[in-house]
Amino acid sequence: MFGYIFINGRLIIENKAKIHVRDRGFLYGDGLFETLRSYKGFIFMLDAHLQRLFHSLKVLKYNIYFDKEYIEDAVNKTVKKNNLSAGDTYIKIIVTRGIHRGELHFDKYYKPNLIIIADSLAPYPEDDYTKGINIISSSIIRQAIGSPIYSHKLLNYFENIFAKDEAHYNGAQEAIFLTRDHLVLEGASSNIFYIKRNMLYTPPLTQNILPGITREVVIDICNENRIKVRQKKIHYRDIIEADEVFKTSSVAGIVPVRKIDRFIITREIPGKITARLMKLYLSRVEL
């Protein structure tokens, strides 16, 4: 059975939903996206996702003709049209720069395409949360500063899917990007935290990483519950010697890590603090 896709103001049955082949998202990955989810119909952190999207649209000079309220309404309509208002839903918002006009620079005449996809969310394996996941270091070495690519959620996602494939090939669920100096940046589709002596650490946003919404929620939960958290440069050594490690993302939430490359982090999964954070996180999504 086909669902309905929102394209530029219209809800179109999936097998008829089309985008122009000269769209710059298709040609160059010149577009942005947000992936988020609902919990039993409650769309979690939609406003924060839209804020991140609109910040990137502005910084990257997209000619926007819609506002946050318009997208919020479109998301709700798409979820409703697909009969997903009561379940756990995977939602993807995509904005491309529009149809290519021949010049590569950001022409002020481009008209972005807005696409929204909503699907019922297939649950992650329970074992990920109770036994922890394995992560590997990607072979892709990234810079810690000086690129516009990583702080925006760009359609140009090739490094991420390449790293995910490396993880899959090696029997792991996530890959992390390191710098040449072995600093830990982020996962292919997640942010990374580690815990040492009851203190949480995560890399700062100055390090070419995505300002993850879930990362922010976790920091907020820590501040609210007097759990100590610090944003600082993290070395590979820090995470393999950590008491606990977890990754965060909007779709999966907080996921404990059992093993990094060949190093077992902990056999107690989830660790004490990770378990507490997972509980506090779940209490936020169950409104």
Question: What are the structure tokens assigned to 61, written together?
Answer: 């000079």
Which one of residues 173, 179, 207, 249 is an interface residue with ligand PLP (CB under 6 A)? Answer: 249
The minimum distance between CB 12 and ligand PLP, in angstroms, equals: 26
- Return the SS3 of 39: strand
CB 258 within 8 Å of CB 128: no
**Closest alpha carbon to 209 in 153, 138, 167, 140:** 153
The minimum distance between CB 253 and ligand PLP, in angstroms, equals: 9
Considering the rule CB under 6 A, would residue 160 count as an interface residue with ligand PLP? yes
Considering the rule CB under 6 A, would residue 25 count as an interface residue with ligand PLP? no
Whole-angstrom CA distances from 61 to 24, 25, 45, 209 are: 14, 15, 24, 20
**155 vs 213, beta carbon nearer ligand PLP:** 213
The minimum distance between CB 174 and ligand PLP, in angstroms, equals: 10
Binding track over 207-246 against ligand PLP, x by CB under 6 A: ---x-xxxx-------------------------------
What number of CA atoms fall less than 13 Å from residue 272's CA on the CB side?
8
**How far apart are alpha carbons 31 and 156 in whole angstroms?**
7
By CB under 6 A, the residues from 168 to 197 that bind ligand PLP are 186, 189-191
Residues that bind ligand PLP (CB under 6 A): 35, 160, 186, 189-191, 210, 212-215, 248-250
